[in-house]
């Protein structure tokens, strides 16, 4: 009998620990709260994802994820410090705690997660490598590129992808390698290579910035899978969950029709899913170490995923990338979030 009592007592203790609900404070959140800002590692300038304007104000999809995190933690989307990083330096910056997360159009791969001490939280943009070239070369598809010189950025998945593509198609090419994405794009623009390889979204972004965008074409083939998303250091589950659920809050808000413009009005909704998302029923934010209205803050300050997509890379931007795989799952895409309950 005593044995069963001990089992019951131990089980009750464990259940009590889980039932308490509050997250154990992690080292990253402690530092962020003490600092009063989140440090986001971003790109050195990719329009639509993370790029500063002439006044130093950053914008883009990755920037909006950082702003959403600051809204959830501080109720202030401006409490973010942006740290522009090259492809070569980004992982060291995360590993050394120079940044709290990478929100820098970085591809989620097995090798990076298994060997570099990092966890990818979510995929906030489904992408793939593609080629951009000059229309004057009269290239119609990627298999017409045999013998071409190709500008590629060092330290990226593109180096392996382009080699795999030409090897698989028994074609030759000349790699022209540069350290930063900016150097690679400028080399293409000044004619040091025939072709630029980049994520398809980055190619559309770069083309929009060229002096004569209509003189260039982004070829239709995607030669790789590039699931892009934010990454954090391993070993801090609380911070990983906050990054993950900030993105999921934006997805759920779009699915439920909650927007930056109507979020205050939606607080009077009788829909239980909306009421839980906005913190009007239950206290689900407590489990993340956040306030009840953590998701309300994100949508009120930044917007839902569809709004973020549209103004940065979609039809409301100069880039105008179709949603396709980045549409909600209810509309044939891959963006899907677990429920807030």
What digits encode the pLDDT tens for the residues 163-210? 999 999 999 999 999 988 889 999 999 999 999 999 998 899 889 889
Q: What does the pLDDT look like over 217-255, one tens digit per residue?
A: 999 899 999 999 999 999 999 999 999 999 999 999 999
pTM listed for this prediction:
0.84
How confident is the model at residue 19, as a pLDDT?
A: 41
Task: For residue 137, give every residue at least 6 positions away whose Cβ sits within 8 Å of its Cβ, in sequence order, or none.
Answer: 194
Q: What percentage of the chain exceeds 70 in pLDDT?
A: 93
């Amino acid at each position: 009998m005593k044995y069963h009592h001990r089992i019951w007592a131990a089980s009750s203790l464990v259940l009590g620990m889980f039932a308490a609900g509050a997250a154990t404070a992690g080292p990253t959140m402690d530092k962020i709260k003490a600092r009063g800002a989140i440090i986001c590692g971003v790109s050195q300038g990719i329009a639509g994802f993370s790029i500063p304007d002439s006044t130093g104000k950053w914008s883009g999809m990755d920037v909006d994820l950082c702003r959403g995190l600051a809204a959830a933690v501080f109720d202030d989307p401006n409490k973010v410090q942006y740290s522009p990083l090259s492809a070569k330096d980004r992982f060291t910056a995360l590993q050394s705690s120079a940044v709290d997360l990478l929100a820098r159009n970085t591809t989620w791969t097995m090798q990076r997660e298994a060997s570099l001490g990092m966890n990818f939280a979510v995929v906030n943009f489904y992408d793939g490598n593609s080629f951009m070239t000059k229309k004057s070369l009269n290239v119609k598809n990627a298999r017409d590129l045999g013998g071409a010189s190709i500008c590629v950025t060092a330290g990226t998945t593109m180096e392996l992808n382009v080699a795999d593509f030409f090897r698989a198609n028994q074609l030759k090419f000349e790699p022209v390698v540069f350290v930063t994405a900016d150097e690679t794009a400028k080399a293409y623009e000044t004619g040091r290579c025939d072709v630029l390889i980049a994520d398809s979204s980055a190619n559309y972004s770069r083309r929009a910035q060229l002096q004569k965008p209509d003189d260039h074409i982004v070829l239709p083939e995607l030669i790789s899978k590039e699931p892009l998303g934010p990454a954090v250091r391993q070993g801090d589950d609380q911070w990983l969950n906050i990054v993950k659920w900030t993105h999921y809050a934006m997805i759920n808000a779009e699915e439920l029709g909650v927007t930056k413009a109507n979020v205050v009005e939606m607080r009077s909704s009788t829909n239980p899913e909306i009421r839980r998302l906005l913190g009007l029923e239950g206290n689900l934010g407590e489990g993340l170490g956040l306030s009840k209205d953590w998701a309300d803050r994100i949508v009120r300050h930044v917007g839902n995923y569809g709004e973020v997509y549209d103004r940065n890379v979609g039809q409301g931007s100069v880039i105008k990338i179709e949603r396709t795989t980045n549409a909600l799952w209810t509309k044939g895409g891959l963006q899907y979030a677990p429920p807030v309950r």
